[in-house]
A and B are shown apart, each in its own frame.
Chain A
């Protein structure tokens, strides 16, 4: 299949709907295509794209003088299409994409909260990122809002309108944002009858850090460091996506050794998190043996990372123009030994997970995400692969160095907790193969190219397959070579809403294991 061979068909459909397409560009945001459309066509364009089986992959805005520029991303066959429109900054009003793409709900509310964009037919009027105690007129991403003002004192949000409980025997269970374990803050409101969950609502935003605001005015290296802190467990992938966006804006290609090392870091991150998740899923059903074994493997793995890249999570290893660390021969040998250890230990552990009847009893048929629901919400990564959706950027839209690596992806259709665990188990093995290949064929040479500030107004899109799924990062530089706009879109934006769906009909005590199998990032989507 050729890239974008579907675009002419979509454009024809747009034409049938009298949607006027202007200023198309295949290079401004390469490898994505950019299409300018009129604001009044915004909703109908989404409707047409939804009917044409496109996936919705994100929305962000930027205040540019008198206008507010809004971008939305549509994906088909792994090709990304950016729709762009401009609305007056004084009275920003736009049709919502949520009626056609349910996954757009929270990101549009995020946009409404932070820019004051009025989405005319958005089904949910409640705030999302900007909790209710913020003044109505405060829109933090507007230029008129000063980033350095004193923050409001912390105070709980009390008037968020959860769906009220109705009916005999139904009751609410509020959980969080303070939990018994050491996890990130998030609030879950259950409606239950007996032990059966009727409905679940998530309330996030407790780790809102103003990432998008404080990115403004940073230099490239500062932005890479910030991107590495969007979400701690995805630090490599977020930094890579940001650097990829900046390098594309600056028309700068990192050297081959740096590209290979980035993939090495990324696959190590994938394996570390998958190991941790498998153990955590087992622990949530009281199977502590697996938890301790996988925690041990993860710990040893992270110690190798620390020894070779200076940080257990490999933070700040990816920098604009290349990578910060160049492991020497003994360090590379240590990484090879780490691979060998995993290859030796996993065949002993996997059969236990596969064959254990009491584990199977808990995980199989628990928290089923139907493929149709998964598709409608646009879920990503292991969530998609467990529900029969075969997407992986590394294979569908290969970026260096995956363009010459054999990427195999697991695919399951059951959509339950067991399938999500199995995807992780398989991905660890695939990543090990990639790592072996990367280590064997590590190109020689430099690992960093000198960074040069890009031309004013240049922009770029970073697209990488993070361990949770596709990460999409937009960066635009201002006239001084500093960042004017940064928007990292974590896959959790789409995977969290799936949790609300897959828990229906399950029992309350099964929620933790369902939640762990989704393992959305709070920080990554609170921004």
Chain B
């Protein structure tokens, strides 16, 4: 178990969070590079998202006359909430002091809080696109959240804890066992992650068409450092879902002891796992067109169904076994 009074542990937790926040743009850059390669384009450097962020931080934010304090505050709220979410997720080491608050329900709550402010900000200025994007985002998330919770509950029922660190410990201690419930939950989780992070086929992160946007429509009015924070938060969110998937369902390699060798191994394995996950995402995004908006509920219903099947198969096949 974690030692909550160990200053070294707190330092590591802080470093891990910084690494998390700093690496998020790189993940997006890597996905873009993969997609460009798959589409026979010459790719920009994977560091391009950093350059974009630096550029945006250097620009003066332009704020609409009709904007209230919510509009100005939202980027900071959204970004800081997302950073806190990132802080509680084990990236390279499990059993850090922050693991105590790494409760999945809290985590879902943090994400919902960020989304709530994002939607408020979208509606704040009063343009048609912002309201449209907020309404769509809420439609998607109201269906995505139960599916995500259901997938997580499947996991926590097996691990007997809603704490992510405990779940990872359980996975590691029980060895590599192919559980049907986890497979279902994993696929459900993947679908939710695609919807929640605004990827194809639910949303198109690269579109310029205002009428088709979900996430982008809400941040259309942002510029300068506000936009930079919003973009960075979105990149973080993608990384959060990615790390959740690879570290909870396939935790092998994560550092359980805080030795330099173990930490290095943890870093390398999580990088490899994320890069592999990005390949899956890039292939799917290249091969698929965006869905009609009204197909998105069906998509998320499928995610919910998979998660539910996971829970059922846990109850039927695994309890008492």
Contact = CB atoms under 8 A, between A and B. Distances in A.
Given A172-B128, A174-B128, A195 B293 contact: yes
Interface in A483-527: 507-512
Interface in B290-321: 290-295
Interface in A291-315: 292-293, 296
B11 interface: no
A296 B294 CA distance: 32
A362 B211 contact: no
A508 B132 contact: yes
Interface string B111-148: 00000000000000000110010000000000000000
Nearest to B39: A292
A358 B293 contact: no
B178 interface: no
Given A285-B289, A356-B289, A362-B289, A173 B128 contact: yes
Contacts of B212: 284, 286, 509, 512
Given A174-B128, A180-B220, A361 B211 contact: no
Q: Give the contact-size bracket for chain B.
A: 20 to 34
18 contacts: A172-B128, A175-B128, A179-B210, A180-B208, A286-B204, A286-B288, A287-B288, A288-B206, A292-B39, A358-B201, A358-B288, A358-B291, A361-B289, A361-B291, A362-B292, A507-B293, A509-B292, A510-B292
A289 B39 contact: yes
Interface in A176-201: 179-181, 195
A203 B81 CA distance: 43
Interface residues of A, number: 30
A200 to B, nearest CB: 11
B209 interface: yes
Given A286-B289, A288-B206, A289-B286, A512 B128 contact: no
Contacts of A174: 128
A195 B294 contact: yes
Interface string B206-243: 11111110000000100000000000000000000000
A227 interface: no
A500 to B, nearest CB: 15
A359 interface: yes
B40 interface: yes
A292 B41 contact: yes
Contacts of B35: 288
A358 B35 CA distance: 18
Nearest to B214: A509
B289 A359 contact: yes
B205 to A, nearest CB: 9
Contacts, number: 77
A174 B209 CA distance: 14
A230 interface: no
Contacts of B210: 175, 179-180
| SS class, residues of chain B in contact with chain A | loop
A64 to B, nearest CB: 46
Nearest to A173: B128
Contacts of A173: 128-129, 132, 211
A292 B36 CA distance: 10
Contacts of B189: none
Nearest to A183: B208
B200 interface: yes
Contacts of A114: none
A386 interface: no
| Most chain B beta-carbon neighbours within 10 Å: one of A361, A508, A509 | A509
A419 interface: no
Contact of B209 (A181, A282, A362): A181
Given A358-B201, A512-B211, A282 B289 contact: yes
A296 B41 CA distance: 10
B105 to A, nearest CB: 31
Given A285-B289, A508-B211, A512-B212, 16 more contacts: A171-B128, A174-B128, A180-B209, A284-B212, A286-B207, A286-B212, A286-B289, A288-B206, A356-B289, A358-B288, A362-B290, A362-B291, A507-B292, A509-B293, A510-B292, A512-B211
| Most chain B beta-carbon neighbours within 10 Å: one of A179, A286, A508 | A286
A174 B211 CA distance: 10
Interface in A452-503: none
Given A296-B40, A361-B295, A287 B208 contact: no
Nearest to B206: A288
Interface string A128-165: 00000000000000000000000000000000000000
A288 B295 contact: no
A322 B201 CA distance: 51
Contacts of A289: 38-39, 286-287
Contact of A358 (B211, B289, B294): B289
B229 to A, nearest CB: 20
Contacts of A179: 208, 210
A175 B212 CA distance: 12
Contact of A286 (B40, B128, B132, B200): B200
